[in-house]
Amino acid sequence: MKAEEFDQRFDRGGDVTSALDLDGARRPGYEQRRVNVDFPAWMIESLDREARRLGVTRQSIIKVWIAERLEHRDTTTA
Protein backbone atom coordinates (compact mmCIF):
# COMPACT_ATOMS: atom_id res chain seq x y z
CA MET A 1 0.00 0.00 0.00
CA LYS A 2 1.38 3.39 -0.95
CA ALA A 3 1.61 6.17 1.62
CA GLU A 4 -1.08 8.24 -0.09
CA GLU A 5 -3.56 5.34 -0.05
CA PHE A 6 -2.67 4.64 3.59
CA ASP A 7 -3.32 8.29 4.52
CA GLN A 8 -6.64 8.38 2.68
CA ARG A 9 -7.86 5.17 4.27
CA PHE A 10 -6.80 6.39 7.71
CA ASP A 11 -8.43 9.80 7.21
CA ARG A 12 -11.70 8.08 6.22
CA GLY A 13 -11.58 6.06 9.44
CA GLY A 14 -10.71 2.84 7.66
CA ASP A 15 -8.69 -0.02 9.13
CA VAL A 16 -4.99 0.39 8.30
CA THR A 17 -3.60 -2.19 10.71
CA SER A 18 -3.07 -4.75 7.93
CA ALA A 19 -0.50 -2.36 6.40
CA LEU A 20 1.49 -2.07 9.63
CA ASP A 21 4.34 -4.29 10.84
CA LEU A 22 3.29 -4.58 14.48
CA ASP A 23 5.85 -7.27 15.36
CA GLY A 24 8.58 -4.68 15.64
CA ALA A 25 6.42 -1.98 17.24
CA ARG A 26 7.84 -0.37 20.37
CA ARG A 27 6.59 2.32 22.73
CA PRO A 28 9.52 4.68 23.33
CA GLY A 29 10.20 5.14 27.02
CA TYR A 30 8.32 1.95 27.96
CA GLU A 31 11.13 -0.58 27.50
CA GLN A 32 11.46 -2.90 30.47
CA ARG A 33 14.53 -2.49 32.68
CA ARG A 34 15.27 -4.61 35.71
CA VAL A 35 15.99 -3.05 39.09
CA ASN A 36 16.69 -4.64 42.43
CA VAL A 37 15.23 -3.11 45.57
CA ASP A 38 15.69 -4.37 49.10
CA PHE A 39 12.65 -4.09 51.38
CA PRO A 40 12.38 -4.90 55.08
CA ALA A 41 10.59 -8.18 55.87
CA TRP A 42 7.51 -6.44 57.33
CA MET A 43 7.05 -4.52 54.09
CA ILE A 44 7.28 -7.68 51.96
CA GLU A 45 4.72 -9.39 54.19
CA SER A 46 2.38 -6.42 53.89
CA LEU A 47 2.83 -6.29 50.10
CA ASP A 48 2.14 -10.02 49.85
CA ARG A 49 -1.05 -9.73 51.92
CA GLU A 50 -2.34 -6.92 49.72
CA ALA A 51 -1.34 -8.73 46.53
CA ARG A 52 -3.20 -11.87 47.68
CA ARG A 53 -6.24 -9.80 48.60
CA LEU A 54 -6.30 -8.27 45.12
CA GLY A 55 -5.37 -11.50 43.34
CA VAL A 56 -2.22 -10.09 41.72
CA THR A 57 1.51 -10.64 42.07
CA ARG A 58 3.76 -8.69 44.42
CA GLN A 59 5.55 -7.23 41.41
CA SER A 60 2.26 -6.03 39.93
CA ILE A 61 1.20 -4.23 43.06
CA ILE A 62 4.59 -2.55 43.41
CA LYS A 63 4.46 -1.35 39.79
CA VAL A 64 0.90 -0.04 40.11
CA TRP A 65 1.56 1.78 43.38
CA ILE A 66 4.74 3.41 42.08
CA ALA A 67 3.02 4.41 38.82
CA GLU A 68 0.10 5.93 40.76
CA ARG A 69 2.48 7.92 42.93
CA LEU A 70 4.46 9.20 39.95
CA GLU A 71 1.30 10.14 38.04
CA HIS A 72 -0.02 11.97 41.10
CA ARG A 73 3.25 13.84 41.44
CA ASP A 74 3.19 14.79 37.74
CA THR A 75 -0.35 16.19 38.00
CA THR A 76 0.36 18.20 41.16
CA THR A 77 3.59 19.77 39.87
CA ALA A 78 2.21 20.77 36.47
59-78 pLDDT, tens per residue? 999 999 999 999 988 787 76
Q: What angle separates helix 58-76 from helix 41-54, to the nearest 10 degrees?
A: 90
40 in a domain, yes or no? no
Domain that holds residue 75: 48-78
pTM for the whole structure:
0.59
73 part of a folded domain: yes
Tell whether 62 is covered by a domain.
yes
Domain count, the chain: 1
For residue 37, is it within any domain? no
Q: 54: closest CA among 35, 43, 42, 46?
A: 46
Q: Is the per-residue pLDDT at 12 higher than 90? A: yes
Let me know if residue 66 belongs to a domain. Answer: yes
